[in-house]
Amino acid sequence: MDKVLVVEDSSEVLSNILQLLEIRGYETVAAENGKIGLELATRERPDVIISDVTMPELDGYNLLTELRKNPLTENIPFIFLTAKVGKNDFRRGMVSGADDYVTKPFRAKDLLDAIETRLAKKRAQQKVLQEIYDNISSYVPHELRTPLVSIFGYSDMVLGGYEELSEAEVKDMVRSIRNSAERLHRSLEKFIIYSDTRVLLNDESTHKHLIDKITTTPHSIILEVISENKMKDQKDLSFKVNDGIECVPIHENHFKILTRELIDNAVKFANCGSEVSIDFSQNDSRLKMKVSNEGRGMSESEIENIQPFLQHKRRIYEQNGNGLGLAIVKNIVMLYSGNIQIESEPDGITEVEVTFPKRKECF
């Protein structure tokens, strides 16, 4: 049963709202002012808070501000119930973090719809978070443990009986150890890169420093990444590069990471014998890089839910990885005030396009 906290200083309005909600099956908690509401929100952890604006002790705006400061209450959906509908009042509420406004006098349907909309959004967010948690619990340890099992296993076999093994057998085992070590290294590198880019996004001074960096050798970097993929390619893929760009307005290291993740992702889900294309275009203000492949594809909901540690239909496709690739791309794109757009359809063409504002250094 969903729990709703109602903060309202008018006893008549409060009673009417509580009665309406209880008839609809909600569990209710009541507070006659913002100070009591703050205490109850912290203790009761409601699923939604409905609050008046003008109240004694602590008004609705200050109540919302205090709730957003507390990690225990910062994400609780908050709905203002108020007779104030001026532009400044609305802006102040939204800036403070309100999720919705219902104006007095209100219809029961309007209030119930507002509550259910916020609850539905919260359930959807919780579902995604649960998927991420499940993936972290199930697959991240798997991504670390599986290569280690191979490394330890083959190492023990070589050390324990190398006299009885042929040279070819030893080479195969050492090669397997090497491949497992590379897989483990890639996983750890992705964890570090994702964490570093998240930190940079929250560091304004570093962000300002990075915004002046450029990459002057994008074509050679792309060819380097393609060469890496060809060396480990088991799909007989071809690569097409439509390149007329001499400068990209992001740091060279970030461009390498961006390119590697985009191409690796395209290769991973491409059909055997198909083509992966990398296209550049530009106008007076924007530079675009698009990576395309034909293969598994993604649905609209999968595109919307690109999250770290979340891999869609992993059990069906049994792919390796930790779901960090496109999440890293999104972080880098945001770091340089760019945009990312993904167009895809299941079992069809997938196009991932990133765009960045051009700077005078790249003209």
Model confidence pLDDT, tens digit, residues 27-86: 999 999 999 999 999 999 999 999 998 888 898 889 998 998 888 888 899 998 877 655
* Residue 304 pLDDT grade (very low, low, confident, very high; cuts 50, 70, 90): low
Inside any domain, residue 134: no
Q: Which of 66-70, 132-136, 140-144 has the highest mean pLDDT?
A: 66-70
How far are the Cα atoms of 128, 131, 140, 308 from residue 314, in angstroms, in the given order? 15, 12, 13, 14
* Same domain (yes/no): 43, 88: yes
- Tell me the average pLDDT across 336-342: 88
Query: How do the residues of the chain divide into helix, strand and coil, expressed in percent and rounded to 5?
Result: 55, 20, 30
Q: Which residue, of 127, 162, 187, is where some domain finishes?
A: 127
Q: Are 269 and 232 in contact (CB under 8 A)?
A: no
* Same domain (yes/no): 210, 192: no
What is the structure's pLDDT at 309?
Answer: 40
- Kindly report the CATH number assigned to the domain that includes residue 38: 3.40.50.2300
Q: Which tokens in the block code for residue 5?
A: 């906290």
Respond yes or no on whether the N-terminal peptide bond of residue 105 is cis (omega within 30° of 0). yes
- Kindly report the CATH number assigned to the domain that includes residue 300: 3.30.565.10
- How many independent structural domains does the chain possess? 3
- Tell me the average pLDDT across 154-166: 84
Q: How far apart are CA 216 and CA 21, in angstroms?
A: 62
Q: Are 307 and 323 in contact (CB under 8 A)?
A: yes
* Residue 306 pLDDT grade (very low, low, confident, very high; cuts 50, 70, 90): low
* Residue 289 pLDDT grade (very low, low, confident, very high; cuts 50, 70, 90): very high
Q: How far apart are CA 350 and CA 82, in angstroms?
A: 47
* Same domain (yes/no): 238, 310: yes
What is the structure's pLDDT at 228?
Answer: 87
Q: Angle 325-335/167-201 helices, nearest 10 degrees?
A: 40
H helices present in 56-203, as ranges: 60-69, 87-96, 108-138, 140-161, 167-201
* Residue 198 pLDDT grade (very low, low, confident, very high; cuts 50, 70, 90): confident
* Same domain (yes/no): 211, 354: yes
Inside any domain, residue 240: yes
Q: How far apart are CA 83 and CA 288, in angstroms?
A: 47
Inside any domain, residue 259: yes
What is the structure's pLDDT at 321?
Answer: 47
Inside any domain, residue 283: yes
What is the Cα Rg of the chain in Å?
Answer: 27
Residue 37 identity: G
What is the structure's pLDDT at 315?
Answer: 38
CA atoms within 13 A on the CB side of 94: 8
The residues, ordered by sequence, that sit 6+ positions from 74 with a Cβ below 8 Å of its Cβ are 67, 68
Q: Which residue, of 172, 196, 220, is where some domain finishes?
A: 196
* Same domain (yes/no): 247, 174: no
* Same domain (yes/no): 43, 98: yes
* Same domain (yes/no): 147, 290: no
* Same domain (yes/no): 286, 342: yes
Question: Which residues of the chain form beta strands (DSSP E)?
Answer: 3-7, 27-31, 48-52, 78-82, 100-103, 238-242, 275-282, 286-294, 339-344, 349-357
Inside any domain, residue 246: yes
Q: Which domain holds residue 297?
A: 204-362
Inside any domain, residue 132: no
* Same domain (yes/no): 229, 190: no
* Same domain (yes/no): 240, 187: no
What is the structure's pLDDT at 236?
Answer: 87
What is the average pLDDT value for the chain, to the nearest integer?
82
Inside any domain, residue 164: yes
* Residue 188 pLDDT grade (very low, low, confident, very high; cuts 50, 70, 90): confident
* Same domain (yes/no): 154, 209: no
Alpha-carbon torsion (312, 318, 324, 326), positive or negative = negative
Q: Which residue, of 196, 218, 245, is where some domain finishes?
A: 196
Whole-prediction pTM? 0.55
* Same domain (yes/no): 186, 211: no
List, for residues 275-287, the tens digit of each pLDDT value. 999 998 888 788 8
Inside any domain, residue 92: yes
